[in-house]
Amino acid sequence: MSDAFAGTYYDGAIGRAHAVELRGVGSVHYALVGDGVERSGPIASLRITPRLGRVARTIEFGDGARVLLAHDAPIDAWFPRAGRMEAFVDRLERHAHAIAAAVFVCVTALAVGAFWGIPKAADAVAFRVPPEAERTLGNEVLEQLDQFGLKPTTLDADRRAALAARFAALGHDGAVEYRIEFRNAPGIGANAFALPGGTVVVTDQLIVALDDDREFDAVVAHEIGHQRRRHALRQTLRGSAVAIVAAFFAGDVSSAGAIVIAVPTFLLTSHYSREFEDEADRYAFDLLSKHEESPHWFAEAMRRLEAAQPAHRRGVSSYVSTHPNTLNRIDAADAAARSFATAHPELCPHGVCPGEEADDPDDPDCDDCETDDEAPAAAPARLDCAKDGSE
Amino acid sequence: MEDLIAAEAISPPPPPAWQFAGGPPGPARTEHRFEFSGDAREYFRIWVVNLALSIVTLGIYSAWAKVRSERYFYGNTRLAGEPFEYLAKPWPILKGRLIAVSLFAIYIFAAQLSWKLQLGTALVIALATPWLFVRGCAFRARYSAWRGINFRFALNYGRAYVVYLLLGLPVVLSLGLMYPYVKAMQKKFFVEHHHYGGMPFALRATAGQFYPPYLIAWGVTVAIVFALSVVIGMLTVLVAGSGGEGPPTWFMYAYLVPFYASYFAVWAFLAAALANLVYNHTDLGPHGFRSTLKGQKLLWIYAGNTTAILASAGFMIPWAKVRLARYRAESLVVLSAGNLDDFRAESRADIDATAAEMDGLFDIDIGL
């Protein structure tokens, strides 16, 4: 080898830079000369750092001494076996098509991971968690809630027993027994939530806000849907997975502040939770229909709960705000109610099911109500339309 | 809020590992500038290939990715024309990452299972943190070099437990008033256990000097929160209207924005003030340092970086990192007394003893 490379030599003992030239001698030896330095030896005793951008390449002599060469010094022939992987990576970094492919891999992985990988992996774990463990977890959570915010219920025992009986009738499916807990929650307001392991917590404020026990049925049917599909545990595990992935990237972006991590994490977990809400809603519609109750009561419950929010806290911590897209959900419930009315003419003569008549007796204008999906108040009228259309 | 400030202030990003700070400008001192020659486009290629390979290998490659990324930033940072070198090998980093990821996964999972379990895990992590911190500093210092001479971080676990764990107690008992003092002790520990060229770094700043930046930051924060609360209270009434209707949901989220923005601003100014304080009072033998970070400029960079990263779904991260590294390098100067050629490596015995211990089972680098 007759190549000669200009570089900067440091002996590793004193921080002085020596301008030197590194030459090949024969095919297996090197010689380093210049600026008061002279050393030589077998090339096999040298180690070189892989090429990287315009960063100088370091050759280590094994005794702490090193020489820095320009990034593009054509010296790789000296080290045919060294760092082949990183040499390959370096070629990728300098190749436009490889960069495009890498961007594609990242975008795809981001999308697939967020909408498929994390949910699938978390669910796989969730479905392996034994029911007892899940119940223990749920009890822990309830204990925690009882310590920080929930108070003993103030509903009288007869009322509770009556509601619990309705809940049991809906939730009974032979396999798993679900449990309902009543709590006074002035700080939380009208709400109901499904804990891991089969416990549904309903606040006194929710019972007060609702007007009809069939609305109560609709709300707990939704929570039973969460239980049946083990949403609480699945959401927990998905949240953990997102946090772990986010932490992995946090190192890269910490300089730009926590919000860079917080915003995408929040958006993704909200997306998962919306997915679960939709699923629980559909489950509730089916369950109500099976028990010969119209999903109309679900829409009715939603309207009641929204109206029941005190003005200053609406949208803060209400049932409605933890369940966004209230209008869409009411529309979906109304649509399910129309199907129910069609399927059960014996229960809903003229498409109007029991309890629905009083709401809006004179809304005769039905010409465009099939497309009127905005105003929840139009819902009863639409039931009339469904009748007109089907008869 | 305090925690976030602390987290950032403990370990400011590059110039890496060691802390430089400026001494009093003596007449006989020569200025040597730091320069950063990294390029956003060039680093983007490295970053995106790193990320893609890390994804394809399910995270295994991330250790190699880290080495390439660190080498890029070190190698493009020059002092007096000579580049820094990052010499760590990927394997110990991979090991460290596996440990860190499992610890974090346990913590997160525990958090969702039960608060008692979470408390237990947090306690274990808290107990291990000073030890891990010292190991991490030592690892990083040992593999950082300039002019062929490696840095060194002296292992002193006892003192680390005092400043990073025990001193937490007076902070809590004094309702945070002791925080600047403790911060000063931590900085002192961090700076003074670093060695280069056979000499330890020294931090001349007193604990008292850490108080003005914090007191100003706290005062401004209180004033801003008070002013914003008044304004938002009035806006809430306006937006909510008189019909008993609550304020719309978007408003409840929107009002967080000015709070977060002002927090961000105070934090940037505080970070600049603290970095300058530390750099400007650090000596290495006869040499000193001068840092001229501006809170305004730092805020501008952080805000721009955050916006760009969010708007680009993360693809502007390389640009953001390069931009910050460039500003940090530009703001730092070494004031040398005499010749920079005179740094001498420590005696081989010292280095070998440290290295032997470091190459044990837990030779790790925390820092995801």
Per-residue pLDDT of chain B (368 residues; tens, 9 = 90+): 333 333 333 333 344 333 444 444 445 688 999 999 999 999 999 999 999 999 899 888 988 998 999 999 999 999 999 999 998 888 877 887 777 777 777 777 776 667 777 788 888 878 888 888 888 888 888 889 999 999 989 989 999 999 999 998 999 899 889 999 999 999 999 999 999 988 999 999 999 999 999 999 999 999 998 998 888 888 777 766 554 445 565 666 677 788 888 888 999 999 999 999 999 999 998 899 999 999 999 999 999 998 998 899 889 999 999 999 999 999 999 999 877 777 887 765 444 444 434 433 343 444 33
Decide if A248 and B53 are in contact by the 8 Å CB cutoff. Answer: no
Element at A193 (helix H, strand E) = strand A192-194
Looking at the DSSP bridge assignments, the partners of residue A14 are B344
Closest-CA residue to A191 (of A48, A278, A317)? A317
Q: Which two tokens stand for residue A283?
A: 């489950």
Among all residues of chain B, which has the CA nearest to that of A314? B246
In the predicted model, residues of chain A with pLDDT beneath 70 are 1-2, 173-175, 248-258, 309-325, 350-351, 354-391
Among all residues of chain A, which has the CA nearest to that of B345? A13
Pick the residue of A55, A61, A137 with the most B CBs within 10 A to test the interface with B by mutation.
Answer: A55
Task: Report the pLDDT value the prediction gives residue A310, as an integer from 0 to 100.
Answer: 55
Tokens 């469904």, residue located: A386
> Cα–Cα distance between A289 and A298 in angstroms, integer?
11
Task: Report the pLDDT value the prediction gives residue A361, as an integer from 0 to 100.
Answer: 42
Among all residues of chain A, which has the CA nearest to that of B89? A49
**CB-based contacts of A289, cutoff 8 Å, min separation 6:** A295, A336, A340, A343, A344
Pick the residue of A84, A93, A143, A316 with the most B CBs within 10 A to test the interface with B by mutation.
Answer: A93
Tokens 């995106």, residue located: B48
Element at B145 (helix H, strand E) = strand B144-146
Nearest to A315 among B248, B320, B343 (CB): B248
Task: Report the pLDDT value the prediction gives residue B37, as an integer from 0 to 100.
Answer: 95
A353 to chain B, closest Cα gap in Å:
31
Q: Are B73 and B15 in contact (CB under 8 A)?
A: no
Decide if B4 and A258 are in contact by the 8 Å CB cutoff. Answer: yes
Decide if A12 and B244 are in contact by the 8 Å CB cutoff. Answer: no
Q: Which two tokens stand for residue B2?
A: 């305090």
- What are the counts of helices (DSSP H) followed by strands (DSSP E) for chain B? 14, 10
Q: Would you report the helix, strand and coil content of chain A in percent, each value rounded to 5?
A: 55, 15, 30
Among all residues of chain B, which has the CA nearest to that of A134? B113
Decide if A260 and B245 are in contact by the 8 Å CB cutoff. Answer: no
Return the DSSP state at B316: T
Size of interface A-B (CB pairs under 8 A): 189
Q: Would you report the helix, strand and coil content of chain B in percent, each value rounded to 5?
A: 65, 15, 25
Reduce the DSSP state of residue A199 to 3 states and report it: strand
Chain A residues lying within 8 Å of B249, measured CB to CB = 314-315, 321
Looking at the DSSP bridge assignments, the partners of residue A57 are A69
Chain B residues lying within 8 Å of A101, measured CB to CB = 52
Looking at the DSSP bridge assignments, the partners of residue A201 are A181, A193
Tokens 């280095």, residue located: B351
Task: Report the pLDDT value the prediction gives residue A183, as an integer from 0 to 100.
Answer: 93
Task: Report the pLDDT value the prediction gives residue B313, as an integer from 0 to 100.
Answer: 85
Looking at the DSSP bridge assignments, the partners of residue B77 are B36
Element at A179 (helix H, strand E) = strand A179-184
Among all residues of chain B, which has the CA nearest to that of A313? B246
Burial A67-91 (b: 16+ CB within 10 A, else e): bbbeeebebbebbeeebeebeebbe
User: Cα torsion at B296, B299, B301, B306 (round to 10°)?
Assistant: -160
> Cα–Cα distance between B150 and A10 in angstroms, integer?
12
